[in-house]
Amino acid sequence: MDEARRAKTVDELAALVGGCVVGDRTVLINRVNSVASAAEGDITYVEDEKYFEAASTSRASCVIAPVGANVKAPCRIEVAKPKLAFALIAEVLHPPKRPEPSIHPTAVIAASADVALTAFIGPHVCIGEHSGVGVSTQIHAGASIGDSVTIGSDCVIHPSVVIYDNVSIGDRVILHAGVVIGADGFGYVRDEQGYHKFPQVGTVVIEDDVELGANTCVDRAALGRTRIGRGTKIDNMVHVGHNCDIGERVVIAAQTGISGSVIIEDDCVIGGQVGFGDHIRVQSGAIIGSKAGILPGKIVRPGVWWGIPIQPLDEYKRLNAHISRLPHVRQELKELTERVRMLENELRQNEE
């Protein structure tokens, strides 16, 4: 869709986000942009007061700002949550690319597979026996779909995604390049000769509106299921171990590693590079800071947590404050030790 056909008036965009227009309602908007880079035809946003002056002098045709904010741009949309309004407007002005329904001649699709007539199947895609692809779903170049896989409607499966057998994926799921769903979990039993593989015969269930970042891996359950709940968003290069149960609307940042049988309840936020031991339960509403480490079997209650091993944020800050003073304390200790040594020498000499 070209910009002219996509363009919306400020009035139309304000109605979309429930905002109040200050200025010319008829101004046409084509694109979203940052405050610094915006030009005529662009819309931008500002939330933090320290950027209000920059927004006031921006070349954008319209600025989204908090209600009553001291932003002097000639055309504004005032809303309670500018960043959310900006994201909603971006979805309208920059809709995702939707290829026409088709099946590329190089795709290999099993005769027993059920592919919706409105689906897009790209070059060199492989779809296994008894698998199903829903209405308006896109499967892009080189993706491999195993046997007995169910993929819902309006999904986007990006290039080189691998979905193993017997996996279920809901509607409006986005899997970015290199995602692997349903690989065997890391489960072994040791005897005198070495390690024997524990059965990895469970499944993976990805619920509606989930998005998984590039090169993320979700292992199948040993027995039972590994689950990613509705509306959860997972960043690039995250590993989800076997039999994990991740709830709804959870956010997990990049390079986090989650061991087997971890439960993360609804509405949790997990920072980047967090390490989870096995059999942990993270209760609904918990926030875990980046690079934290969580010992196996721990229950993480609601609140903000940080550190290795994790602790409440206030305790973590106090500990960091003490640690930052260690060089000073070390120097003081050396000076006190020297003074004690001198006093002992003086006492010894006086006794003599």
Q: Identify whether the C-beta of residue 169 lies closer than 8 Å to the C-beta of residue 155.
A: yes
Say if residue 122 is exposed, middle or buried (CB neighbours under 10 Å; 0-12, 13-18, 19+): buried
Beta-bridge partner residues of 175: 157, 212
Helices 10-17 and 82-93, axial angle in degrees (round to 10): 120
Dihedral sign from CA coordinates of 65, 68, 72, 77:
positive
Place of tokens 């689906």: 119
CA-nearest of 233, 268, 241, 235 to 254 is 235
Please give the Cα distance from 228 to 208 (Å, whole number): 9
Say if residue 64 is exposed, middle or buried (CB neighbours under 10 Å; 0-12, 13-18, 19+): buried
- The one catalytic residue in 242, 279, 322, 328 is 242
In whole angstroms, how far apart are CA 27 and each of 10, 35, 40, 90?
6, 18, 10, 17
Token pair of 89 as six digits: 């407007």
SS3 260: coil
Dihedral sign from CA coordinates of 179, 181, 187, 193:
negative
> Which residues lie below 8 Å from residue 48, measured CB to CB, with a gap of 6+?
none
Say if residue 44 is exposed, middle or buried (CB neighbours under 10 Å; 0-12, 13-18, 19+): buried
- The size of the chain, in residues, is 352
> Which residues lie below 8 Å from residue 22, measured CB to CB, with a gap of 6+?
75, 76, 77, 78
Catalytic residue status for 242:
yes
Place of tokens 């304000």: 14
The catalytic residues are 242
